[in-house]
Structure 1
């Protein structure tokens, strides 16, 4: 299995196809394998790289960690992975909290990014104060539910506001600890170290403004104007951009991978 050594971790990744580098950054459960189906449809056009973010699945932690600064560490990992795999900047697609990582990557290492597609980042800090407070309260409630009643109950709360369709079912399955030790460990790791930090992290809109020609705000067609779209809509407004729509909802890359890949290719073209 291919891997790259970075400070404090060994990052596992897999590649599909040939062509310019397209790095896919996963959200909540951190596994690159959630992109495997869509990667097969993108492989004729790109070298598609799927990776396990540090601490998830086969990307193992090495030594002490700065969990208080984990978001920037994830962004640095993406930068180092791009440097390892390509002499040119990469096209980067990040979804959900992976889109938060992708935005931080563009802020910290713009030289590594040719184009960034930010798909429904839960960047609550950009919302107007009333909605920001409500969002932070919901996230704390989800975390408290996890600590009091376990991951399954917390995921029910987390997915309750998603669009209708298969999104909630798929997301709960991805975080269902009864499937095995790997999923259980990934799920608990996310609740403990990412759920609150990534959703509350500040977004440097001034830096994104400087790199706005690279920035593509994206949301699912089925997501409508739901809670997952609010933050990216605010960012798009600040950058004077339009939120572009792609087939499916929050996890369209899993529910309808072929249609999702076709939509992604249209955006990139």
Structure 2
């Protein structure tokens, strides 16, 4: 079912943030980085019958331009952005689901703005500092970013998927990242490699603050992510926090590839929170 989508912008000190709100009920935030609001739209539509759902383009991506396009995007900044949007909607505290770089964003939200969020679901955050082989993983990450900035996007993506331990069919990279491409997609890709990826993978969570703080933390891992880098980082985070990971359908981007399959598991996690279940808030 398609729900009415309200497109909004919010000016902050250094950016204009684009976000969308649909549905009614307790507030749920769906966050990516670099994935934008479009990637979450099918899942948001499925949830909007029971929840107010906020999706957004993270700073520097697509419809959320920065005053200085050469500025880096950090998890702390993206967390502050999410907190500002939650406050603007006026339906918090929210429950926040984030995937990949967005999972890092929502963990930073829980750490730095705990009053704005009751539960955080961190789906496959790529926190390299939690790994025993962090030095080698940081070297690989720096190398693939240097490859991209040297003008070899296909080579950079090849190194990215190799580090992630995600295997693509032969010729897939050329089909995905070669030839004529949408200029906005290329601009977003370049921003991610140049200004966002490094800050996301190197962010060091305050484990004690997350473990002992007021925000309920759920760590999500895709059922199809066995052996991949983000299964390793997510497992390490769950171990540090003393929680059991929740398995979600699909792999790293299961929420976008099969929203209908992903939604029941996410909905069960939402329903497991009495503070969210009994809160009847809506867009004001």
1:53 alignment counterpart: 58
1:111 alignment counterpart: 115
The Cα shift of 1:253 comes to 1.2
Matches within 5 A, 1:1-269: 1-28=7-34, 30-62=35-67, 67=72, 70-128=74-132, 131-160=133-162, 162=164, 178-211=180-213, 214-269=216-271
In the superposition, relative to structure 1, how do residues 96 and 183 fare at CA in structure 2: closer, same or farther (>3 Å)? Answer: same
Aligned equivalents of 2:96, 2:131: Cα separation in 1: 24
> 8 Å contact 1:156–1:172 — kept in the other structure?
no
Aligned equivalents of 2:171, 2:45: Cα separation in 1: 23
> 8 Å contact 1:102–1:116 — kept in the other structure?
yes
- Higher mean alpha-carbon deviation, 166-175 vs 33-42, is at 166-175
The Cα shift of 1:60 comes to 1.7
Runs of 4 or more above 4 Å deviation: 63-66, 161-177
Q: Secondary structure at the match of 1:188?
A: helix
> 8 Å contact 2:10–2:17 — kept in the other structure?
yes
Aligned equivalents of 2:57, 2:142: Cα separation in 1: 26
Q: Secondary structure at the match of 2:95?
A: strand
In the superposition, relative to structure 1, how do residues 185 and 47 fare at CA in structure 2: closer, same or farther (>3 Å)? Answer: same
Gaps of at least 5 residues in structure 2 are 1-6, 272-284
The Cα shift of 1:170 comes to 9.9
Gaps of at least 5 residues in structure 1 are none
- Higher mean alpha-carbon deviation, 147-156 vs 191-200, is at 147-156
Aligned equivalents of 1:212, 1:175: Cα separation in 2: 42
Between the two proteins, the alignment pairs up a number of residues equal to 265
Aligned equivalents of 1:226, 1:64: Cα separation in 2: 32
Aligned equivalents of 1:9, 1:190: Cα separation in 2: 16
The Cα shift of 1:162 comes to 4.9
In the superposition, relative to structure 1, how do residues 117 and 171 fare at CA in structure 2: closer, same or farther (>3 Å)? Answer: farther
In the superposition, relative to structure 1, how do residues 164 and 199 fare at CA in structure 2: closer, same or farther (>3 Å)? Answer: closer
Spell out, residue by residue over 1:132-186, the C-alpha distance to the aligned partner (whole angstroms, 9 max, x if none).
1121011012112212342232122212355768899999988778431110110
- Please say which structure displays the higher CA radius of gyration: 2
For normalisation by structure 2, the TM-score amounts to: 0.85
> 8 Å contact 1:166–1:255 — kept in the other structure?
no
The Cα shift of 1:87 comes to 3.8
Structure with greater helix share of residues: 1
Q: Secondary structure at the match of 1:262?
A: helix
Aligned equivalents of 2:43, 2:174: Cα separation in 1: 19
Give the CA RMSD over aligned residues. Answer: 2.7
